[in-house]
Structure 1
């Protein structure tokens, strides 16, 4: 690659980075401004920065309780998605029959079904069995998150030699022991990738929780954020401060898992 092309790619990459960071810049600088200044000086830095918006947003969101609700739903859903998807992918990949192939293709095809097409009947059925609660919501997330997760695990398991299973069987291991102690540890990069993708989706989801658990005291952070948008007024200064508070847990999670995520992406690309 010539020096000129490197400069072109470098400038193009810089433009993309700035375009990606620009919304975060707007969110952070405007979260430090009074409501009126947001509209008079949207792009500029705050004239008199204040953290009062964060204090007020923290109180209005009832953040401790709301954070707990989001954590329970997100962590519970992601843990079950990882557990069941890894097991299902292991069975579908190791037991190679026409039935297992057909079941796997059904999971792949399910990724193409939009949620909106099953939204009304799903909520109606769960309402009839009295499961419009956090437990029912976690169950729904498992169903919606399983297809993509099984697809990722299935692809990663193709590169794990069957000889490992056979050696473990010779040593007297059961199928569960083979999966638990031999296969699943090898899938760590894929597991981290699955955890991140599902965490970001479930943590930020608004539509499904609004249909299932939109009750006072049970709301997740995205649902509670709607408190700042009334019929006649929109409290942008508090909403932006609330958004900053809401994304902090996900950013912390991402930075802790960054190495494993990069390893998982590279591992999947090679396989």
Structure 2
């Protein structure tokens, strides 16, 4: 009886997985078709597999430039988030006073605020900073990175905070006795132990920042600054949509994330279980 139940559960799991993968199948098969084939039957396989549409999509998207912009924004944003959030969480845990507890709750509370509720005030503030303080916050990759750090800090601090609570303080005390200052204690003792949570934060933030469309669309207006999600919008005109090229462009957009996710997925559950659960 148990074996039958297990088989049924596995079949249901397979069906659910196929439902999740179905949109990717649609994008993949239609990225090799011309417009006539796509409109005739979007579910059928293409008559021939040709990468001509991928080449055209890369040219229209200015893929190399867009990929470079996305790569810079993603890597720099995540590096800053990791450094600042890990140090912040460490201080919150080790100070363990009312102020640190209050500030940690502030970080946690900001995680439940939808971005859509603050995006217009945010743009007004950033416009004021540009015009009054002469800070290049809009239409610059630096401004986008700054905002990504702000929006990504809360979750990172939350995850790091939970994991650091499980690190014995005796390790830090021993390092201090050996002559380490706080800077060395953190970077030589604490931070290497945070590897599972660091990997989790990196994976989640890569998926978020690389695929983000809304915030870059508000911040970046110059074509030379477009990230990959913004470049895919070039296929959707006011009066016509090049669906086959759009499908090719979407595949080019998601392939780097899929490759990265498959290479690093084993760290997600491990890091979350080791970090956020230990509160």
CA RMSD, Structure 1 to Structure 2 (Å): 1.4
Q: 1:218 aligns with which of 219, 225, 228?
A: 225
The corresponding residue for 2:94 is 94
Confirm whether residue 257 of structure 1 aligns to residue 264 of structure 2: yes
Confirm whether residue 142 of structure 1 aligns to residue 168 of structure 2: no
The corresponding residue for 1:206 is 213
Alignment of 1:102-251 (within 5 A): 102-130=102-130, 131-132=137-138, 133-251=140-258
CA distance in 2, matches of 1:72, 1:127: 23
CA distance in 2, matches of 1:47, 1:141: 43
When residues 111 and 265 of structure 1 are mapped into structure 2, their CA distance, relative to the original with a 3 A threshold, is closer
| Contact 2:235 2:245 (8 Å CA) reproduced | yes
Q: Which moved more, 1:247-256 or 1:106-115?
A: 247-256
Confirm whether residue 34 of structure 1 aligns to residue 41 of structure 2: no
| Contact 2:196 2:274 (8 Å CA) reproduced | yes
CA distance in 2, matches of 1:121, 1:17: 40
Alignment of 1:66-81 (within 5 A): 66-81=66-81
Confirm whether residue 51 of structure 1 aligns to residue 56 of structure 2: no
Deviations 1:140-169 (A, max 9, x none): 111100011100110111111111111111
How far did residue 270 of structure 1 move?
Answer: 6.7
Deviations 1:163-205 (A, max 9, x none): 1111111111111111101111111111011011111111111
| Contact 2:77 2:146 (8 Å CA) reproduced | yes
User: Normalising by the residue count of structure 2, what TM-score does the alignment of the two structures yield?
Assistant: 0.93
Deviations 1:91-126 (A, max 9, x none): 001110000000000000000111122111211121
CA distance in 2, matches of 1:236, 1:47: 17
CA distance in 2, matches of 1:184, 1:269: 17
User: Normalising by the residue count of structure 1, what TM-score does the alignment of the two structures yield?
Assistant: 0.96
Structure 1: runs of 5 or more not aligned: none
CA distance in 1, matches of 2:174, 2:23: 53
The corresponding residue for 2:134 is none
CA distance in 2, matches of 1:149, 1:95: 18
Q: Per the alignment, in what secondary structure is the counterpart of residue 217 of structure 1?
A: helix
The corresponding residue for 2:133 is none
Q: Which moved more, 1:113-122 or 1:87-96?
A: 113-122
Tell me the matched-pair count.
271
Q: Per the alignment, in what secondary structure is the counterpart of residue 224 of structure 2?
A: coil
Structure 2: runs of 5 or more not aligned: 131-136
